[in-house]
């Protein structure tokens, strides 16, 4: 993956992510001839499905053009992370306002880089939940406006289903069924992906999500926001066995997670050290905390594969870029003859290419949303009841 980065005047980072095999050629005589022969620009054949995808559920404004669910023609992310860092977390009002400012530019760049126009697009897809309501509404309104103006079909995508589908982009051989561990800022789910768009949740967090625990502990030990990547980096310098933090087991639901006890235990150690006038080694706390989280995540995921009889395991969501998680999961998968799939880190964070991947399989099933589509901030994973049906 190559990332072109540009920091804009307001601190927002504009990124264009290109895969190694991506065709980045500008329109040329060859493309024009292909179009004249019945193919659209961007190398689009008659059977191909090209989707413009939009994502704005948190603090990334993103747009992408994806062909046939797995070929990313363009992937644009406008990241506001630096703006929120000064407040120690995402400020929803700022996020929504920046989405309004940046989204059109992202969409324009995505179409240009993919070498397609709105006419070549077969559908417009957008994340409609879960997420921050004001942030989601920007993407949803944008997608509805494009669908209305062009007459193209509209497809709503669940953000987490998007994260799971990020695995399809670089792993052309990956097909359901498989087990997926979804770990992001708002979710910790262990899911069986039974088919495209069909999910069975077998475990979830009882309290904090994994990413939330990383963010809270990072703040407590003075690393600041965004916590996950900072703990990941600090942990590389620390001793993972310096502290023995609890790994919660939930008796009646063996695949569920709980991270609040672990977080309290870190806070206790910090307070104790303060009272005794001792200096804690930040990297040791980070490494020990990360080890406790990662061992639980990996343990549950491997156990689920073995007990449910699956030999394919994927990871998804922001925390899936954690190097400790990737390392231990790889080792345990190897030891248990399980094939391990993970997206490149840049496809683990919020992006629109993953939304385009998920939308393709919905499109093939004939799913179409109406212009009554709304943002659903607490949309449950796998919920097919709340679809906003076309023509309703």
Residue 317 binds ligand KG4 (CB under 6 A): yes
Min dist CB 235 to ligand KG4, Å, is 9
295 phi/psi in degrees, rounded to 5? -65, -40
Please, which residues have CB within 8 angstroms of residue 175's CB and are 6 or more apart in sequence? Answer: none
Q: Of the candidates 176, 101, 154, which has an alpha carbon nearest to the alpha carbon of residue 389?
A: 154
Please, which residues have CB within 8 angstroms of residue 361's CB and are 6 or more apart in sequence? Answer: 69, 165, 196, 197
**Selected binder of Zn ion within 61, 78, 141, 184 (CB under 5 A):** 184
One character per residue 220-239, x = contact with ligand KG4 (rule: CB under 6 A) = ------xxxx--x-------
Min dist CB 159 to Zn ion, Å, is 6
Cβ count near 323 (within 10 Å): 15
Q: Which two tokens stand for residue 178?
A: 């498989």
What residues from 340 to 359 belong to the interface with Zn ion (CB under 5 A)?
A: 350
Choose the contact partner of 321 out of Zn ion, ligand KG4, none; CB within 5 to 8 A by kind: ligand KG4
First to last CA, the chain: 41
Contact between 179 and 313 under an 8 Å Cβ cutoff? The reply is: yes
Q: Residue 124 or residue 213: which is nearer to ligand KG4 going by CB?
A: 213
Measured CA to CA, the distance from residue 168 to residue 70 in angstroms comes to 6
Measured CA to CA, the distance from residue 387 to residue 341 in angstroms comes to 29
Measured CA to CA, the distance from residue 139 to residue 131 in angstroms comes to 11
Residue 208 binds ligand KG4 (CB under 6 A): no
C-alpha distances in angstroms, 204 versus 190, 255, 268, 351?
6, 7, 25, 23
Q: Residue 153 or residue 227: which is nearer to ligand KG4 going by CB?
A: 227
Residue 43 binds ligand KG4 (CB under 6 A): no
Min dist CB 317 to Zn ion, Å, is 6
Angle between helices 92-114 and 133-150 (to 10 degrees): 30
One character per residue 58-77, x = contact with ligand KG4 (rule: CB under 6 A) = x-------------------
The strand pairing partners of 182, in sequence order, are 189, 316
One character per residue 10-29, x = contact with ligand KG4 (rule: CB under 6 A) = --------------------
Q: Residue 161 or residue 215: which is nearer to ligand KG4 going by CB?
A: 215
**Selected binder of ligand KG4 within 43, 134, 176, 186 (CB under 6 A):** 186
Choose the contact partner of 322 out of Zn ion, ligand KG4, none; CB within 5 to 8 A by kind: ligand KG4
Maximum alpha-carbon separation in the chain: 78
Q: Residue 184 or residue 188: which is nearer to Zn ion going by CB?
A: 184
**Selected binder of ligand KG4 within 69, 134, 153, 211 (CB under 6 A):** 211
**Selected binder of ligand KG4 within 214, 245, 360, 369 (CB under 6 A):** 214
Min dist CB 85 to ligand KG4, Å, is 12
Alpha helices, DSSP H, located in 189-319: 210-220, 227-235, 260-275, 282-308
Cβ count near 360 (within 10 Å): 27
* Binding residues for ligand KG4 (CB under 6 A): 58, 184-186, 211, 214-215, 226-229, 232, 317-319, 321-322, 349-350
* Binding residues for Zn ion (CB under 5 A): 184, 350
């Amino acid at each position: 993956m190559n990332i072109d980065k540009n920091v804009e005047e307001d601190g927002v980072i504009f990124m264009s992510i290109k895969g190694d095999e991506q065709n980045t050629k500008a329109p040329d005589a060859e493309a024009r001839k292909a179009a004249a022969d019945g193919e659209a620009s961007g190398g689009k054949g008659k059977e191909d499905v090209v989707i413009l995808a939009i994502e704005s559920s948190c603090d990334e404004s993103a747009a992408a053009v994806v062909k046939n669910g797995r070929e990313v023609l363009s992937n644009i992310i406008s990241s506001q992370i630096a703006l929120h860092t000064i407040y120690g977390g995402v400020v929803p009002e700022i996020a929504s306002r920046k989405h309004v400012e940046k989204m059109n530019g992202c969409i324009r760049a995505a179409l240009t880089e993919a070498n397609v126009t709105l006419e070549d697009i077969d559908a417009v897809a957008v994340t409609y939940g879960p997420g921050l309501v004001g942030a989601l509404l920007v993407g949803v309104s944008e997608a509805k406006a494009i669908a209305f103006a062009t007459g193209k079909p509209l497809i709503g995508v669940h953000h987490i289903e998007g994260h799971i589908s990020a695995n399809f982009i670089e792993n052309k051989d990956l097909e359901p069924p498989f087990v997926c561990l979804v770990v992001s800022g708002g979710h910790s789910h262990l899911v069986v992906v039974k088919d495209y768009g069909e999910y069975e949740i077998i475990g979830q967090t009882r309290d904090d999500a994994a990413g939330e625990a990383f963010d809270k502990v990072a703040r407590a030990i003075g690393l600041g926001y965004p916590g996950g990547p900072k703990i990941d980096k600090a942990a590389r310098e620390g001793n993972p066995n310096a502290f023995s933090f609890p790994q919660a087991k939930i008796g009646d639901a063996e695949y569920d997670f709980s991270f609040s006890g672990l977080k309290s235990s870190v806070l206790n150690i910090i307070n104790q050290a303060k009272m005794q006038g001792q200096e804690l080694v930040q990297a040791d706390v980070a490494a020990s905390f990360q080890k406790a989280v990662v061992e639980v995540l990996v343990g549950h995921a491997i156990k689920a594969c073995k007990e449910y009889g699956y030999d394919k395991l994927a990871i998804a969501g922001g925390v899936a870029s954690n190097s400790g998680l990737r390392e231990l999961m790889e080792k345990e998968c190897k030891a248990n003859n399980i094939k391990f799939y993970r997206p490149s880190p840049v496809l683990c964070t919020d992006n629109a290419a993953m939304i385009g991947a998920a939308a393709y399989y919905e499109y093939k099933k004939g799913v179409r949303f109406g212009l009554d589509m709304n943002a659903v901030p607490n949309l449950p994973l796998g919920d097919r009841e709340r679809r906003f049906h076309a023509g309703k």
